Structure 1
Amino acid sequence: MPLGKHAKIAIGWTACTTLGIYLFYLSKTSVDKRRYENMKIRERMRLANVEGDAQKLQLMQELEIEMMADMYNRLTTACHKKCIPPVYNDAEIAKGEAVCIDRCVAKFLDIHERIGKKLGQLSMQDEQLLKK
């Protein structure tokens, strides 16, 4: 028995609603995970300020490695999403894709460096204000 017009609309709305709820759940989970990771980083930084010099150095090195890994993961995700089509037509990277990836990585690293410098300046200003 074929479905009527209203049944097809109801099925469509149900599918859209279910998909929307699922996508909302995924985005909320991603945000919660990122917040949790940031809390862990802040906690490790706080512990680094309390503990001895050797432990402090080791924690700071581990933190730097984690931050670089996070930056690399964000870079690869962003540039892959921007430059590589979701359906692969060829096993090799095309010239246009390679150029796009090069530019994307260069821009990403440039912005990352600029933000790092600005945050360094701000933290130095904060330290100077605290000393006064």
Structure 2
Amino acid sequence: MSTDLPHVHPRRRVALLGVRALAWIVYAYVVVTEAVLALGFTLLLFGANPDASFVAWSYRSLDRAMEPFRGIFTPIDLGLSGSQEVGAVLDTSVLFAMLVYAVAAWLVSSLLDWIGGFLERLAEADERAVDPGTTAGRP
């Protein structure tokens, strides 16, 4: 058996698995943030009462997610309708934030796919290093 077989160092694999775990955490955060942004946008658009506890929680969460995007665009006041006490607002900054977070989610998803494929190739290389006669499921 030759000593120059393509064996992958275990530390490299652990580092890749750590990066993969971190990417999954970031991806989960971005997906939850997208949901918060969509909920907040909808509540603003329909002029939800901010005194309601669920709406207040939603607006607090929206404020945290919108921190880097506040003031980019001026919100459009749609006015009151019927017996509403709170005016409806079309906040285009929220839409822009949703777009940016969606691009971030796509990039992190692509990174996860790439890391997954790379780890799979490393596993195949390890199998070939242990038994050079195998082709890891390939003809």
Shorter-normalised TM range? 0.3 to 0.5
- Of Structure 1 and Structure 2, the greater helix share is in 1
TM-score (norm 2): 0.36
Task: Please say which structure displays the higher CA radius of gyration.
Answer: 2
TM-score under structure 1 length normalisation: 0.38
